[in-house]
Every structure is written in C-alpha cells, then in structure tokens.
Amino acid sequence: MALSGGVCVVTGACGFLGKRLIRLLLEEENFSEIRLVDTNIKLEDVQHFNDCSSSSSSSTRVRACEGDIRDEVFLRRACRGASLVFHIAALIDVLGTVEFSELHGVNVTGTQLLLDVCIEENVSSFIITSSLEVMGPNPRGDPIHSGTEETVYDSSSLKSLYGITKKEAEEKTLQANGKLLPDGTRLATCALRPMYIYGEGCRFLRGHLADGLGNNNVLYRMSLKEAKVNPVYVGNVAFAHLQAARCLKDPTKRQVASGKFYFISDDTPPVSYSDFSHALMSPLGFHIQDKLPLPMSLLYAGCFIMEMVSMMLRPFITLVPPLSRQVLTMLNTHFTFSYQKAQTELGYTPRFSWQQASKGTTEWLAGQLPALQEKL
C-alpha cells in the first residue's frame, strides 16, 4: 500500500541509513512533507533531498527540523500533524567512549519522549531502527546459526552498553503498540533489527580502509575465519523500513506486523567481520593477515588488563582501550540470522544483490583512497 499524502518524520535523517531511506521515500512515495530531524543538518543535505524530490517528479516538501531528541518541546513541533515516524536516531558506541548516562539519555529517554509525543500528536505509525546487539552475542560467545525471531537465546547478561540501551528502547517501542490516540485510533509500532549495515558512506569500513593503508595495504585480522556473520546492505535496510511502513498503513497487514520485531538481512554471503572487509577491499589491492595477532586467550587477557587499568584511572583520566572483551567476543562469535519472517509478513525481499551491493561499496571505497592517502 502506498504512503501517499501526509507528513513523515525521520529522526537521524542525516546519518548513514537516514539519507538512504529519505532518497528511497522521495523516489517511491509522495508525501506532503518529509521532516528531517537531526542535531546537525547541513543546507546542502536539504538541497540535495529537494533536488531528488524534483527529479523524481514528487511534490514532497523536505523540511529541516534541527534539534535534540531529548527536547520534548522540539519533538512536539517536529511531529505535529505527522502520520508516520521512522526513528533511526541513536548514539552508536562500540568501544565504550560514550558515558552510559549519555547513551541512555539519547537512546532510551529520547525514544520514550518521542513515543509520548507521537501519542499526543496522533501519529499512527512508528518504526524504530533497533540493532542486532539487543540479541547479543552474550559474554560466553554462544553462537547462533541462521537465527529467527523465535530463536531462544540468553541475552540477560549483555555487556555492550549500546546494546543494553537499544534493547530498552526497542522494548519501550513495542510496549507502546496499541496505545489509544486522542483521535480514537491506536498507535502501531514495529522494530527492525538489521545486521551489521554496510554500503556507500559506511564510516566503519572507511576506518578499516585507513588502517589497512597504514599497514602497507594489509588489513588487520581481528576475527576468526569460522566466526561468520551476515552483513546487510544499506539499500536493503532502507527498503525494509519502507515495507514496514506500508504494512502498518494497510489495515489487514497492520494487525500482523504491529508490535513485532524483525531481523533484517539479505543475500550477502556469511563471512567473518575481517574477511568481509577483505572481500570488499581486495579489488583495491588489499591483503589480509592470515591469523589473529595473538592467540584468543592472550587477546582476551590483554583486554581484561586494559579494562582494569582504565577503571583504576577513571577518577583521574578517561582512557578508552582500543579493544574490549565484549568487542572481541562480538568479532569472534558465529552470529547469523534469516530474513524469512520479514519476507513473509512485511513483503521484504532484498532490492540489491550481493554483486550490486559489493560493487557499489568497493567503488565508493576506491573514491575514499586519495583523501586517506594524503593523510599518511
């Protein structure tokens, strides 16, 4: 079902996924207005989106709403008159560089405020971009092979503060499903859990590229070959969001999809994190280390020591270890998931093949090389 008409709000609109989703919305839908909610919106981004709207013969107006998601007054202005909210905004922190209070404030408190405002303003559909890290892996590194939404997994002892806050935000979102709105209708919510998202504009891949350049075009290996994951292309994640929104608008499908979470993957071949970077960068002349720099037991012990030193120094100085036990576990745990339920209930099928996704990503990485080489 088309989403024509109405006002759509996208939080985190100027981020990696947000930009891709807005481009897709402008290409395939015709809203009266799309509001870009972000903390730092550049004029060129707004102009780019308006140009996309014009080139696609869309009459959609694109409007910037710059502000903090923890500001309730700002959120009320941004959501007034809207019928659909894509909540992508979040603080992503893998290494532990952000204080828990800040992570919780943005990822949890911000989500709750946004939900409260949506209820007050009669927003009928709310889709949150969750994370695979709400599932794990747990500290034991228990693997999952082709997991589904019904997979039972012990995630009660998550160590990732980012994962903990995203899990709470997801729970709040799904608990809000069915809330009565002032106009007599009810709010429908849905959560999408993408795998590791890659594609043009991925800052993590750009970081791996820079590290490889500094190591004479040899990528560092930090994950075992057998610890496979299944990354997902950003264009396919954007399409999954669009399909979720269409389902929540359709009266019949709304009953099926609302109040649920869905894993979002595609047909990217399962491979370890390190080997995935190599698959994208080998066409650019990069090689990869055959083995981990140290045995896993020594790496784990080293992480423990660095974490203890960091904790003891914290009253005097903030020292963030370059690697933690939690990240090491994440990088070395087999953790793959199926998108079958999203396909069956949301009508999601990957728009982009692995060949298309890898080609576009590698070409983008090639374009990053000159600037990175200048910094060496």
pLDDT tens profile 147-191? 999 999 998 888 888 999 999 999 999 999 999 999 999 999 999
Active site residue 162: yes
Q: Is residue 12 part of a domain?
A: yes
C-alpha–C-alpha distance, residues 175 and 246, integer Å: 21
> Is 140 among the domain residues?
yes
> Which 8-state DSSP code applies to residue 66?
E
Q: What is the CATH number of the domain that holds 156?
A: 3.40.50.720
Whether 62 is covered by a domain: the verdict is yes
| Contact predicate 29/4, CB 8 Å | yes
- CA 218 – CA 306 distance, rounded (Å): 25
pLDDT cut 90: percent of the chain above it: 78
Residue 279 domain-assigned (yes or no): no
* pLDDT of residue 53 exceeding 80: no
Per the domain annotation, does 63 fall within a domain?
yes
**Mean pLDDT for all residues in the chain:** 93
pLDDT tens digit sequence for 121-147: 999 999 999 999 999 999 999 999 999
Tell me, yes or no, whether 66 lies in a domain: yes
Model confidence at 47, in pLDDT bands (50, 70, 90)? Answer: confident
Enter the tokens of residue 251: 């009266």
Phi, psi values for residue 120, rounded to 5°: -65, -35
Specify the 3-state DSSP secondary structure of 62. strand
Rounded-to-integer distance, Cα 117 and Cα 172, Å: 14
Residues in the chain: 376
Question: Which structural domain, as residue segments, surrounds residue 85?
Answer: 7-203+231-268+335-353
Q: In this predicted model, what pLDDT tens digit does every residue of 274-326 receive, in sequence order?
A: 999 999 999 999 999 999 999 999 999 998 898 888 888 877 887 778 888 99
Tell me how far apart the alpha carbons of residues 156 and 138 are, in angstroms, rounded to a whole number. Answer: 8
* 25 C-beta neighbours (distance < 10 Å), count: 28
Q: Residue 79 and residue 76: Cα distance in Å, rounded?
A: 5
Q: Which one of 153, 162, 198, 220 is the catalytic residue? A: 162
What's the total number of domains in the chain? 1
Q: Per the domain annotation, does 213 fall within a domain? A: no
Residue 321 in any domain: the answer is: no
Q: How confident is the model at residue 56 (pLDDT cuts 50, 70, 90)?
A: low
